[in-house]
Amino acid sequence: MTFESLCTRDFLPGDDPDPYGAHILPVYQTSTFVYESPEKIMDVFRGKGKAYVYSRWANPTVDAVERKIAALEAYGLKKDGKELPLKALLFSSGMAAISALFMAALKPGEKILTSGNIYGTTVELLNTLMHSHGIESVYRDLSDKSAVESALEEDAMIRMIYCESPSNPTVQIYDLSMLSELAQRYGATLAVDNTFSSPYLQQPFRWGADYVVHSTTKYLNGHGTALGGILLSTDAGFMEEKAWKMRKILGGNSNALEAWLLNNGLKTLPLRMEKHCSNAALLALFLESHRAVEKVHYAGLESHPAYSLAKKQMRLPGGVLSFELKGGLRAGIRFMKHIRFCTLTSTLGTPDTLITHPASMTHVSVPKAQRLAHGIGDGLIRMSVGIENADDIKNDLERALAAI
Ligand SMILES: Cc1ncc(COP(=O)(O)O)c(C=O)c1O
């Protein structure tokens, strides 16, 4: 079955049929499950048998969506001649999945090597909670091979490289096979936040990743209707013991209704991603030629430093782009004031086009020097390009650009 068809199915090949013959995945909206017999449940509590017990542990709707996302991330990939054996765990949010990954995979004293331009709350997690649990972070430019290698060489306690590719908001692309080879050579692992790509555009396991996380809140759900996060790995022991236990104990599980909403979004993932990407490519070209724009960051443009890398690693370069306006902060604020069609908000991956001006919105409390160090200039605008008619988006941008 092709990737596109897999997305449309509620029951995958090999799944048990629904006992009532339901066509669409049922929402098992129940907190607990009835015990078949004292003996059977005793085995389950002892970890010897499997049955649904309590929805914080596992739930049939959530399980079905985990299996589907695992099938999409593993699509077409093989290990020892067999389908890549991926396990997935769904969480209440992307942050719940990311924190479970760090807490389950690393011990106090061990370190994470990452770049500064990852999602702000992930940086906050690393610098506060993980730091107080004795897990420190080392920040380097992950596109610089020698900087990555010397960090790993100098510090044997680095056990994980963590990156987002494309990253936020300057859509930097990292060479995943270079990072996974270095991680392997130095006894570390590679974890990739694949939120900006979705498995339709990029499969990090193809390039040697050990762990993948997503904020499913974004492209996977695709409609802005539910928060969620997913953690995937081929290490069954890690997933079934450590990561599952982390979810069970800390209670960061997803729930049946939100998993079901996510599943509905997955059905149109390929169609949506194609349109997000074709619209983004058109708008990137339009913006690149506009006299009010200093620079456009989009890996589909030949001017982008990672143009060839994105071509190798991704099916298409994604639906998020950013651009720097001439005229800095004042231009950024004026531009935002004249936007009428696009929506001013900070999430991404919904059908409508979303625009943020980090310097006056999401990053207003970040010191300017720190912002600039990560390429977030005063006039930087980030767009999550939607699936509307591209002319409507272009006309809105044209009007707002003329107003500055
Ligand atoms: C790349 C990336 N990773 C993780 C997260 C966190 O996900 P959530 O908001 O679902 O907790 C976000 C949220 O915007 C994100 O953009």
Q: pLDDT tens, 123-163? A: 999 999 999 999 999 999 999 999 999 999 999 999 999 99
How far does the centroid of ligand 1 lie from the alpha carbon of residue 93, in Å? Answer: 8
359/341 Cα distance (integer angstroms): 21
| Token pair in block for residue 253 | 């599980």
Q: Provide the CATH number for the domain around residue 372.
A: 3.90.1150.10
Cα(64) to ligand 1 centroid in Å equals 22
Ligand 1: centre distance to CA 221 (Å) = 13
Determine whether the shortest distance from the Cβ of 217 to ligand 1 is under 6 A. yes
> 319 and 194, same structural domain?
no
CA of 119 from ligand 1 middle (Å) equals 7
CA proximity to 254, closest of 130, 94, 101: 94
Which pLDDT tens digits describe the chain residue by residue (404 residues)? 999 999 999 999 888 888 899 999 999 999 999 988 888 888 888 878 788 999 999 999 999 999 999 999 999 999 889 999 999 999 999 999 999 999 999 999 999 999 988 998 999 999 999 999 999 999 999 999 999 999 999 999 999 999 999 998 889 999 999 999 999 999 999 999 999 999 999 999 999 999 999 999 999 999 999 999 999 999 999 999 999 999 999 999 999 999 999 999 999 999 999 999 999 999 999 999 999 999 999 999 999 999 999 999 999 999 999 999 999 999 999 999 999 999 999 899 999 999 999 988 878 877 788 788 888 899 999 999 999 999 999 999 999 999 99
pLDDT in tens, 347-362: 999 999 999 999 888 7
Q: What is the pLDDT of residue 169?
A: 84
Ligand 1 neighbour 227 (Cβ under 6 A)? yes
Number of domains making up the chain: 2
pLDDT of residue 8: 97
Whose Cα sits closest to atom 9 in ligand 1?
Answer: 94
- Ligand 1, atom 14: nearest CA belongs to which residue? 347
User: In this structure, are 254 and 293 located in the same domain?
Assistant: no
Identify the pLDDT of residue 268. Answer: 98
C-beta of 229 in contact with ligand 1 (< 6 A): yes
pLDDT of residue 229: 98
Ligand 1 center–CA 190 separation, angstroms:
18
Whether the CB of 252 sits within 6 Å of ligand 1: no
The pLDDT, as a whole number, for residue 50 is: 82
Q: Output the residue whose Cα is nearest ligand 1's atom 7.
A: 94
Distance 229 CA to ligand 1 centre (A): 8
The pLDDT, as a whole number, for residue 40 is 82
Do 200 and 318 share a domain, yes or no? no
Tell me which residue range forms the domain holding 277: 269-403
Cα 270 versus chain centre, distance: 16
- Which pTM was predicted? 0.96
Is 270's C-beta closer than 6 angstroms to any atom of ligand 1? no
Give the pLDDT score at 38.
85
Q: Return the residue whose CA atom lies nearest to atom 16 of ligand 1.
A: 119
SS (H, E, C) the chain: CCHHHHHHCCCCCCCCCCCCCCCCCCCCCCCECCCCCHHHHHHHHCCCCCCCCECCCCCHHHHHHHHHHHHHHCCCCEECCEECCCEEEEECCHHHHHHHHHHHHCCCCCEEEECCCCCHHHHHHHHHHHHHCCCEEEECCCCCHHHHHHHHHHCCCEEEEEEECCCCCCCCCCCHHHHHHHHHHCCCEEEEECCCCHHHHCCHHHHCCCEEEEECCCCCCCCCCCCCEEEEECCHHHHHHHHHHHHHHHCCECCHHHHHHHHHHHCCHHHHHHHHHHHHHHHHHHHHCCCCEEEEECCCCCCCCCHHHHHHHCCCCCCEEEEEECCHHHHHHHHHHCCCCCEECCCCCCCCCEEECCCCCCCCCCCHHHHHHCCCCCCEEEEECCCCCHHHHHHHHHHHHHHC
CA of 165 to the centre of ligand 1 (A): 13
Q: Which atom of ligand 1 is nearest to the CA of 118?
A: 1
CA of 342 relative to ligand 1 center, distance in Å: 21
The residue with tokens 């607990």 is: 32
* pLDDT value, residue 42: 83
Same domain membership, residue 276 and residue 258 = no
218 and 313 together in one domain: no
What pLDDT does residue 398 have?
A: 97
If asked whether residues 248 and 343 sit together in one domain, one would say no
Domain check: are 114 and 152 in the same one?
yes
CATH code (residue 16): 3.40.640.10
110 shares its domain with 245: yes
* One domain, residues 65 and 168: yes
Last residue in a domain, options 218, 243, 266: 266
Are residues 27 and 79 both part of a single domain?
yes
227 and 94 in a common domain: yes
Would you say the CB of residue 193 lies under 6 angstroms from ligand 1?
A: yes
- CB of 95 within 6 A of ligand 1: the answer is yes
Q: Are strands 211-215 and 229-233 parallel, antiparallel or unpaired?
A: antiparallel
Q: Which of 225, 241, 266 is the last residue of a domain?
A: 266
Q: Among 266, 283, 300, where does a domain finish?
A: 266
Same domain, yes or no: 212 and 231: yes
